[in-house]
Amino acid sequence: MSATGIGAAVRRKEDHRFITGKGQYTDDISRPGETRAVFVRSPHAHAKIRKIDTSAAQKMPGVVAVLTGEQLAADKIGHLICGWMIHSKDGSPMKMAPHPAIASGKACYVGDPVALVVAETLTQARDAAEKVAVDYEPLPAVVDPAKAKAGAQIHEVAPKNTIYEWHLGDVKAVEAAFRSAKHVTKLDIVNNRLVPNAMEPRVAIGEYDTGNDSFTLWNTSQNPHVARLVIAAFIGMAPEHKLRVIAPDVGGGFGSKIFIYPEEVACLWASKRTGRPVKWTSDRSEAFLADAHGRDHVTHAEMAFASDGKILALRAKTIANLGAYMSTFSSSVPTYLYATLLSGQYDIAHIYCEVDAVYTNTVPVDAYRGAGRPEATFVVERLVEVGAREQGMDPAELRRKNFVRNFPHQTPVIMTYDAGDYNASLKKAMEIADVKGFAKRRRDAARNGKLRGLGYSTYIEACGIAPSQAVGSLGAGVGLWESAEVRVNPTGSVEILTGCHAHGQGHETTFAQVVADRLGIPIENISVVHGDTDKVQFGMGTYGSRSGAVGISAIVKALDKVEAKAKKVAAHMLEASESDIVFKDGKFTVAGTDKAAAWGDVALNAYIAHKFSGQELEPGLKEGAFYDPTNFTFPAGCHICEVEIDQETGETRVVNWTAVDDFGTVINPMIVEGQVHGGIAQGVGQALLEGAVYDKEGQLVSGSFMDYAMPRAENFPPFNIDTTVTKCPSNPLGLKGCGEAGAIAAPAAVINAITDAIGTEEVTMPATAQTVWAALQKANRMRPAAE
Amino acid sequence: MTAVSMTVNGKPVTADVDPRTLLVQFLREHLRLTGTHVGCDTSQCGACVVHIDGKAMKSCTMFAWQADGANVTTIEGLANGAALHPMQEAFREHHGLQCGYCTPGMIMAAVDIVKRKGHDLDDRTIREELDGNLCRCTGYHNIVKAIAAGARAMK
């Protein structure tokens, strides 16, 4: 392994600009003649808009325009769309309601934009927004997803507020397996609603160029090309070649910046209406009302066991809250990203899952770090843990007994697991976590009045999203390949253009490591270009832990072509047959001789083209590739959480965390560990702290950092992180992906630890001190006095 | 409009601003020092931390005129020319940042912690002292490591 190649903990190339304050985030961009936009948002969860009077606002100082949904519709700006078609059990297509960028006639959630004020300064826009008079007629609000079907109908297209009633699996086989079961474990689960809260709030700058009749959008996006495609082809703002989308440095995404949002469309439209650049920067409290939320499932799940603890079957019925409108990929999250993972790491012959997706008068819900897979893992890992306890078995032993051991393994819910060693990660995690010493630690804690518990989560995820043909057959409106271009300059330095987007993942370093390793050139001589539709031809962006498995695979494919072409150039330079040229460590040699040409010389000769004729070989050294994966990848591992609970207050402290993950080949272990840390923190946040809470009227009660508990440094112990490796067989470097693992694994580990400590399964997320204390009180009351 | 004068990163600046202008807006929009970030509107996240007369302050929580006459240091003024401040170097070395958005505030807060708590900082102290700084990417693990190392390097 070289100091900068695959496997080296190379310090990040991008860091210098971030630690010196020279990053360039969207809000750091200021366009000449720029105006500022402020949205007037509905204060009602569900209301008819009788009239909007903008006359007073128009007269306020500095106001350039006050725009409404009626004008948007008159300009024939299309609706936002959901790009993944799901069909119900009865074959009917999902009920996608019209979603205008600015509401017209009706507002469907608190925060739904109803008007846009454009002014010379932000303060002027804010002042004028206060003067927009909206006459609302409030309607009954639907808030609780479990009661949505009986609530007031929100959209004409969706009777009973039902978007789809979908299912997966063989219900008859599952019923038969349950009839033969020795033991059945049943759980009611609420997977709490979360607010992603990337630290950089969203920003959009729309700029219309009258000279060229073209638009530029600067936005905080994880996938600028998809934004351009949707805004051009579906919303009809401009032809695709007349719209440039630039997503510069982006301050975290976690899924929430995948989607195409109303504000991006509105700023582009307003820039054409006003002839000025229009910039909108979200406030944090506004972000709570305007960024897609995550999770929000209500589930009943059951697991059937044979007398020896073998899992016979699993069934689940889930109600998924998709909020007031269908966000860009919302339909796929509680279906193909969820039910397909219900086999976990286990050999389960029969699985059946039903999912009802409903509209409510809440912010749209879409993918958030893990997207469907944390929900699936929580169902499976809670059932296994509780099943073990109910049957008096050791939870690790029950897992071991049911692990998939032979690969490839076809689950009953679509996925074909390609490689893994689940026992290896469990074993290693148990050693690191010193599970053997836990009984003593528990006794010691009890002497201090503390309850100590240990919880496992042996999770699996499907990443490397995804084989285009497969997702197409499941309803995806796009292919999920990735593109790469390798541009070799005449001096031998290299630019990598990728359709992936980095917003914290360190692509500028890891992608360069792969190239340095392959070409044998210094990592300093490689730069990575992304995030601009005028520079990179196309790409599908970054989500689903796909940038390594799919994005890097595309780079490898392009490097194969570059090497092949460079060998031809070298053959001419060295006057040898192309088949005799060997490329190693940055040097081309003629096999069996001492004739050699360095990488830089070959690059130069490719461009000066003196050694070959144009008929024989094209000058230049630049190759592109599109890589379409042949399977999902299946990162998996074991996380073990140990908690201590104060019996008097119910306060839970995570005291030990062990994670052993199998991500296949690791390019930069430092970056991979960082991804795991961050994922765990978000998962622990979900389990202990975070929850979007709506009141009965549909007001978001937890609507700022004052009310929504974000994880802080003191909520965590240092994490113990390790890996095991089975390479992914379906891509050239054996990569599986690491971005979501922690968020997928952690919630179940935490709740399994808490319930282990307090001896009752009745704990909901977030397990705040109050929740745990109440569960303890209830459990103590139920316990016989003699105990 | 209100006249404000202060020293920012060693340079005197004077401007006429709307009295409602926050210090962070003044730094970012008037002086184009965009390294100081805004991550919230309730003084919770700490992305906007700068040093005012040597003390860490949240620049979103005060008006520009409240810093009149003060000596302000932002992330852009922390390094000594081309040589990084030891705390900046520690964040890079220990992978104490991912998306980079909270980083300027974290580094400015970290330097202040060292000034107040000394150079030998244990895990618990650092975590408690970071109460006013949010990071959504790193799980804080490497930030804590970076601050401990940076504190030692500042000796």
Residue with tokens 């917003």: A503
Q: How far is B45 from chain A (nearest CA, A)?
A: 8
Per-residue pLDDT, averaged over A461-467, amounts to 94
- Nearest CA to A675 among A738, A633, A744? A738
- Comparing alpha-carbon positions, the chain B residue that sits nearest to A22 is B35
**CATH number for the B2-75 domain, one of 3.10.620.30, 3.10.20.30, 3.90.1640.10, 2.30.30.140?**
3.10.20.30
Provide the residue ranges of all domains of chain B, joining segments of one domain with +.
Answer: 2-75, 86-153
CB B36 within 8 A of CB B74: yes
ipTM field: 0.98
Give the pLDDT band (50/70/90) at residue B85. Answer: very high
| pLDDT classification of B81: cutoffs 50, 70, 90 | confident
CB contact under 8 A, A704 and B138: no
**Residues contacting B81, CB < 8 A, separation 6+:** none
Edge-to-edge, what's the strand order for the sheet holding A581-584?
A581-584, A587-590, A596-598
Q: What tokens appear for A458 in the block?
A: 């042996």
CATH class of B86-153: mainly alpha
pLDDT in tens, B94-109: 999 999 999 999 999 9
DSSP structure string for A74-128 = HTTPPPP---B--B-TTSPBP------SS--SEE-STT-EEEEEEESSHHHHHHH
Please, what's the b/e burial string for A268-302 (b: 16 or more CB within 10 A of its CB; e: otherwise)?
A: bbbbbbbebbbbbbbbbbbbbbbbbbbbbbbbebb
Closest of A657, A658, A659, A654 to residue A636, by C-alpha: A659
Contact A284 B42 (CB under 8 A): yes
Give the per-residue pLDDT at A783. 66
Asked whether A316 and A343 are in contact (CB, 8 A), the reply is: no
Average pLDDT along chain A:
97
How far apart CA A754 and CA A752 sit, in angstroms, is 6
Please give the C-alpha separations between residue A415 and each of A67, A343, A348, A384, A463, in angstroms, as whole numbers: 48, 9, 12, 20, 11
A21 vs B contacts (CB less than 8 Å): 33-36, 74-76, 104
On the question of pLDDT at A563 being above 80, the answer is: yes
A55: burial class by Cβ within 10 Å (0-12, 13-18, 19+)?
exposed
How big, in percent rounded to 5, are the helix, strand and coil portions of chain B? Answer: 40, 20, 40
List, for residues A495-544, the tens digit of each pLDDT value: 999 999 999 999 999 999 999 999 999 999 999 999 999 999 999 999 99
| φ and ψ at residue A436, rounded to 5 degrees | -60, -35
Q: What pLDDT shows up at residue A339?
A: 98
**Interface check B59 vs A, CB under 8 A:** no
pTM to 2 decimal places? 0.97
Looking at residue A2, what is its pLDDT?
80
Q: Do B95 and A11 touch (CB under 8 A)?
A: yes
Are domains B2-75 and B86-153 of this chain identical in fold? no
Q: Do A12 and B126 touch (CB under 8 A)?
A: no
Q: What is the pLDDT of residues B28-51, one digit of tens each?
A: 999 999 999 999 999 999 999 999
For residue A706, the chain B residues in CB contact (below 8 A) are 42, 44
Contacts of A22 in chain B (CB under 8 A): 35, 76
User: What is the rounded CA–CA span in Å between residue A60 and residue A42?
Assistant: 21
Chain B residue closest in CA terms to A199: B39
Assess whether pLDDT exceeds 80 at residue A773.
yes
Does the beta-carbon distance from B75 to A742 stay under 8 Å? Answer: no
pLDDT of residue A786: 44
CA-based nearest residue in chain A for residue B83: A20
Collapsed DSSP state (helix, strand, coil) of residue A399: helix
Kindly report the CA angle at A492 between A516 and A522, in degrees rounded to 5? 30
Give strand pairing partners of A659.
Answer: A639, A721
3-state secondary structure A609-636: CCCCCCCCCCCCCEEEEEECCCCCECCE
Angle, CA of A178, A180 and A183, to the nearest 5°: 70
The answer to whether residue B135 neighbours chain A at the CB level (below 8 Å) is yes
Terminal CA-CA length for chain B: 44
Question: How many angstroms separate the CA atoms of A555 and A508, rounded?
Answer: 13
- Best B63, B113, B137, B145 member to test A by mutation, with max A CBs in 10 Å, is B137
Q: Provide the token pair at B142.
A: 């490497």
Say how far apart CA A385 and CA A761 lie, in whole Å.
10
Whether residue A18 and residue B144 make contact (CB cut-off 8 A), yes or no, is no
pLDDT in tens, A73-105: 999 999 999 999 999 999 999 999 999 999 999
Report whether A20 contacts B35 (CB < 8 A): yes
Distance CA A231, CA A240 (A): 8
Nearest residue of chain B to residue A285 (CA atoms): B41
Directed axis angle between helix B86-93 and helix B103-117, to 10°?
A: 120
Secondary structure of residue A509 in the 3-state scheme: helix
3-state secondary structure of A389: helix
Domains contained in chain A, CATH given: 31-139+200-251+257-290 (3.90.1170.50), 297-465+631-782 (3.30.365.10), 481-627 (3.30.365.10)
> With pLDDT > 90 as the criterion, what percentage of chain A qualifies?
98
Q: With residue A713 as reference, give the H or E element that holds it.
A: none
pLDDT score at A350: 98
